[in-house]
A and B are shown apart, each in its own frame.
Chain A
Amino acid sequence: MIRRAILKALAIPGHQIPFGAREMPLPYGWGTGGIAVTAAILGPRDVLKVIDQGADDTTNAVSIRRFFARVAGIATTTRTAEASVIQTRHRIPERPLQEGQVMVFQVPMPEPLFRLEPRLAETRRLHALGDYALAQLRLYEDIAQQGEAGSAYNHPVMVAGRYLMSPSPIPGFDNPKLHMSPAIMLFGAGREKKIYAVPPWTEVRSLDFDDHPFAPVHAAQGCAFCGSTASYKDEIVADDAGGRVFVCSDTDACREGQE
């Protein structure tokens, strides 16, 4: 059932496919949709990496990795280069993904229009008509009132020129990584019971205007560990005197940078 939903999702890029999400041994909100998708696609030779906030050692990433090691007897890794399936919450790894790799995103709210129109019966109609005026209007108002787009993360994307899609709550910084990626991108929303996908080599454009192109914010400083200025950073409060340290959010990329 889940595999059928995944195939359907890959056939209609960016379109949300309802599926009968089952209760998982982990709570809704902890990545049940991602876990369902990962469980449906893992094969015996797969190597699984799980990240949360870009890091392999955050508690929920540890918990999900342990869960699959226990119930699926699967090989796990923290190295992006070695992984065939990468389940993630809120980040896309810095290292460019390769053909054959699958990203599985944990999605809280699959509907990109939900803040503008909470009724699913209505958003379904808007998607069918390709009517995204609400989202464009919101973007226009943000730019007119505050000079730039208001969404810093979960900024909606147009997939293959047809469906508006939530990229999940990844920072805008990661949105461009979805565009023409050689990897398969699968999105699982357990509580909302939807699966959607971006097949490899698919056009994914962040919603913007010609005269106000999408411009995600980058950290002002390099990483305190590896020195990278290209990566997405966590801002760590270092002391009570306003001291800040910036470190890579992607712990594997940072390790590679330090070596």
Chain B
Amino acid sequence: MYVAVKGGDAAIAAAHRWLAHERRGDASVPELGVAQVEGQLALAVDRVMAEGSCFDRSLAALAVKQARGDLIEAAFLLRAYRTTLPRFVAALPLETGLMRVRRRISATYKDLPGGQVLGPTFDYTHRLLDFALAAEGLPPEAPEEDAADGATMPRVTEILAREGLMTRDAAADDAAPPDLTREPLAFPTSRPARLQALARGDEGFLLGLGYSTQRGYGNAHPFVAELRVGECEVWVEPAELGFPISLGEVTVTECQMVNQFGGSRGAPPQFSRGYGLAMGHNERKAMAMALVDRALMARDLGEEATAPAQDEEFVLLHADNVEATGFVEHLKLPHHVDFQSELEKLRSIRARWERERDAAMPEAAE
């Protein structure tokens, strides 16, 4: 006699207990502290902040720990928390030109005001596993402070814009910026909404799409005008005060890509820009974002849009990894009711097909 399955409640409770046990791992090894994650897995924390669109390193570090290092799960935890927070004011536009720069490179000029600053980068490391790190030795020496620290570093794109060779982005208007988390994307989108979607978009997805534009799918000829990482001051201007006040600093990575643009009847031939900004130190994300941003301008610039990266519905509706992972992984949930109707449908169609085949058989034999 068949007995119906029951006990979902008990199974869930048991699964949660097991998960907590697995998360802790071998109890003879010291537990990982949130401060350790924040300080020593900093780039994982930065990625979670960017995709969770919430600037809080210690919460992001907690999310990484809770998610057992699953960064998409961690971004989701952070977003679910973020959505409960009140929103009291929109900050003034971030002045990245005044950034306290830790790293700044331009691929378009050999030297430029402010200079090239390599900063903490993997770029010229030799990718050889460093077995000394496994030995947990003394901390490395602190880097020397550069005497020239604090020099102004004008944006490279501004140098080109002053010469009239680069399109200038429209100045910020007084209209409140769109908020994707309050108002869903509507197509066709505006650039601010697109940039917002890309900024919280999945690094891997944008990386693949950005890469595709370099390989001919989207006709990109990009140069990194500038990539900078550092701290920017966040200013807000509460209506009741009437003057701006500083809230503190955030670490951001900004990338400005220069691309060719042939010009049109209304606009002279100029460079166009692709823009990428990511919370924390995340160069790959900012660069991929800048490539995709530029690709998505195809419609605005009257270019032919034939590549996936130029299709805003395709790009923006599939870039969010919390949404994507939810829909892909929901296939794990029971679907036996739908499957049952599919099964019965297939049997019915199959029976008709067999009847018709059998009816046709005698003629075929003749």
A28 near B: Cβ within 8 Å? yes
Measured between C-beta atoms, what is the minimum distance from A190 to chain B in Å?
9
- In the bound complex, what is the Cα–Cα distance between A58 and B6 (angstroms)? 8
Q: Are the CB atoms of B4 and A251 closer together than 8 Å? A: yes
Chain A contact residues: helix, strand, loop or mixed:
loop
Measured between C-beta atoms, what is the minimum distance from A149 to chain B in Å?
8
**Which of B76, B184, B188 touches A121 (beta carbons < 8 Å)?**
B188
The residues of A that contact B317 with a CB separation of less than 8 Å are 120
The residues of A that contact B349 with a CB separation of less than 8 Å are 146-148
Q: How many residues of A contact B (CB 8 A)?
A: 62
**Which of A19, A60, A247 touches B184 (beta carbons < 8 Å)?**
A19
**Which of A27, A119, A152 touches B76 (beta carbons < 8 Å)?**
A27
The residues of A that contact B187 with a CB separation of less than 8 Å are 120-121
- In the bound complex, what is the Cα–Cα distance between A29 and B183 (angstroms)? 20
The residues of B that contact A21 with a CB separation of less than 8 Å are 184
- In the bound complex, what is the Cα–Cα distance between A121 and B333 (angstroms)? 30
Which residues B1-35 have CB closer than 8 A to chain A? 2, 4-9, 11-12
The residues of B that contact A62 with a CB separation of less than 8 Å are 8-9, 12
Chain B contact residues: helix, strand, loop or mixed:
helix
The residues of B that contact A153 with a CB separation of less than 8 Å are 337-338, 341-342
Q: Are the CB atoms of B2 and A224 closer together than 8 Å? A: yes
- In the bound complex, what is the Cα–Cα distance between A22 and B87 (angstroms)? 14
- In the bound complex, what is the Cα–Cα distance between A245 and B348 (angstroms)? 19
Which residues A61-118 have CB closer than 8 A to chain B? 61-63, 66, 89-91, 108, 118
The 8 closest A-B pairs by CB, nearest first: A29-B330, A28-B326, A152-B345, A152-B341, A193-B184, A171-B341, A29-B326, A62-B8
Which of B's residues lie within 8 Å of A, judged by CB? 2, 4-9, 11-12, 76, 79-80, 82-83, 179, 181-184, 186-188, 313, 317, 322-323, 325-330, 333-338, 340-345, 348-349, 352-353
Chosen A-B contacts, 28 in total, with CB atoms closer than 8 Å, are A21-B184, A23-B80, A23-B322, A25-B80, A28-B325, A29-B327, A32-B326, A53-B334, A53-B335, A57-B7, A58-B8, A59-B11, A61-B8, A62-B8, A90-B335, A90-B338, A120-B187, A121-B187, A148-B345, A152-B342, A153-B338, A169-B335, A171-B338, A193-B184, A217-B341, A217-B344, A234-B340, A251-B4
Given contacts A20-B179, A57-B5, 9 further A-B contacts (CB under 8 A): A19-B184, A21-B184, A23-B322, A52-B334, A53-B337, A108-B327, A148-B352, A152-B345, A217-B345
